[in-house]
Amino acid sequence: MSTTTENTLNIIKRTSHEFAIAGEFVDGIEIDSGHINNTYVANYQRANGDVRRYILQRINEHVFKDPLSVMRNVEAVTRHINWKVLRVKKDASGQTLNIYPARGGRSYAEGPNGGIWRCYNFIENCHTYDVVENTRQAYQAAKAFGSFQDLVSDMPLEDIEETIPDFHNTPKRYNRLMEVVAADPVGRLKDVQAEVDFIVAREHLCNKLVKLAEAGELPVRVTHNDTKLNNVMMDSESDEAVCVIDLDTVMPGLSLYDFGDLVRTATSPAEEDETDLSKVEMRMPMFEALAEGYLDGCDCLTPLEIENLVTGGKLMTLEVGIRFLTDHLEGDVYFKTDREGHNLDRSRTQLRLVECIEEQEEAMQGFVMKVAKAPH
């Protein structure tokens, strides 16, 4: 956490007063987590002396051009999940964040210096992990995201707005790369022909899931779209998953994108920008934990979705590799870089992981089908 200035403290106090929080404001602090939105903790003392903590966030309007649509999505998803957990599963343990209403009953408030703000409950005695350390963590994270998918599986798509158009449209990502390759705007193509050839040889993969969805063979669902390990709150004592967080990218999509991003981010021990590609590997134990967890948490998947879970992992890894390579060829205009060739290094780790998945694809597929047939 960062040091909070008097001005920041005043913003926290004034903004938190816009929400239905019981008690008296004590103090607050900014959370310097490096996430997209500005995040703060406000401490309030209740009449009985207990101090409760609340999360305040200002939505980044540069990333989310229509922050009110983001809030409508978050409100719809949290309301649906809370209703289902309490009414259907008869479980009051809580599977999602709760939004504290603002004045007039809205789910958001305008801050003293502008912007759209929201207030969540602070989930006590929990933490997150940035890197998967063991198969238990992988299983728990995958089960949490599988459960999330299962809980929203009956949400009408018309209840959710697309806040970032074509977020996982791999064919469009591929076509954009080809445009940049043809233009070679900063003269970097000569050093990356092998990477371009690798991607071109897998153009069919880029189109596979989109075509199945367009044909109505894969269901378009309400999906999370940012299934990183640190978007799951874990109980500090048991290390069990408690709650999926960061719902800003919830949009219509494919379940295979969510599972695929878990595979991309959790199976290799290498850093995303690792320069020694020998450190990149697809660890079968981690994949098996992800597959078991996701399938244990999600009962709504169709046979074709289950059949393509491995494809989802390969596709999402390829898509991110395409995005990094595109940015490298454009002159590093999107992703933040710390050194020359940073985006190229990132792309190469992704493409190497695609190779590793392909090398073990048959075994991965066999494991998924075995787990899918086993009783849950």
127 lies in a domain? no
Picking from 245, 289, 283, 287, the residue whose alpha carbon sits closest to that of residue 140 is 289
Asked if residues 255 and 232 have their Cβ atoms less than 8 Å apart, the reply is: no
Statement to judge: residues 146 and 109 lie in one domain: no
Tokens of 165: 């158009």
d(CA 303, CA 284): 22
Residues 103 and 200 in one domain: no
Does residue 90 sit within a domain?
no
Task: Judge whether 92 and 98 are in contact, CB under 8 Å.
Answer: no
In this structure, the answer to whether residues 183 and 321 fall within a common structural domain is: yes
Instruction: Classify residue 45: in a domain, yes or no.
Output: yes
Give every strand in the sheet of 232-235, ordered side by side: 126-127, 232-235, 241-244
Tokens at 122, concatenated: 């602070």
Range of the domain at 141: 135-373
pLDDT for residue 122:
87
Number of domains in the chain: 2
Check the CA dihedral 130-280-360-260 and report its sign.
positive
Give rounded-to-5 percent helix, strand, coil for the chain. Answer: 50, 15, 40
| Chain position carrying tokens 């004034």 | 14
Q: What is the pLDDT of residue 92?
A: 42
**Do 290 and 332 belong to one domain?**
yes
Beta bridge partners of 241: 234
Same domain, 220 and 116: no
* CATH code (residue 35): 3.30.200
Residues 259 and 364 in one domain: yes
Alpha helices in 163-308 (DSSP H): 170-183, 193-200, 203-214, 255-266, 284-297, 303-307
- Residue 305: CATH number of its domain: 3.90.1200.10
For residues 242 and 171, state if they share a domain: yes
Residues 268 and 333 in one domain: yes
Residue 85: inside a domain, yes or no? no
Whether 189 maps to a domain, the answer reads yes
Q: Under DSSP, is residue 340 helix (H, G, I), strand (E, B) or coil? A: coil
What are the pLDDT tens digits along the chain (376 aa)? 445 688 888 889 999 999 989 899 999 988 875 556 788 999 999 989 899 999 999 998 877 889 999 999 999 998 888 888 766 654 444 446 788 889 888 999 988 888 999 998 888 888 888 788 899 999 999 999 999 999 999 999 999 999 888 888 999 999 999 999 999 999 999 999 999 999 999 999 999 999 999 999 999 999 999 998 888 888 888 888 888 888 889 999 999 999 999 999 999 999 999 999 999 999 999 999 999 999 999 999 999 999 999 999 999 999 999 999 999 999 999 888 889 999 999 999 999 999 999 999 999 999 999 999 877 6
**Of 52, 71, 59, residue with least CA distance to 35:** 59
Query: Of 122, 155, 171, which residue is a domain's last?
Result: 122
User: Looking at the structure, do residues 155 and 229 belong to the same domain, yes or no?
Assistant: yes
Other C-beta atoms lying within 10 Å of the C-beta of residue 25: 16
How many other C-beta atoms are found inside a 10 Å radius of the C-beta of residue 203? 13
In a domain, 325, yes or no: yes
Task: Assess whether 216 and 337 both reside in one domain.
Answer: yes
Q: Classify residue 69: in a domain, yes or no.
A: no
* 157 found inside a domain: yes
Q: Are residues 239 and 262 in the same domain?
A: yes
Beta-carbon count within 10 A of 370 CB:
11
Task: Specify whether 36 is located in the same domain as 12.
Answer: yes
pTM for the predicted model, two decimal places:
0.87
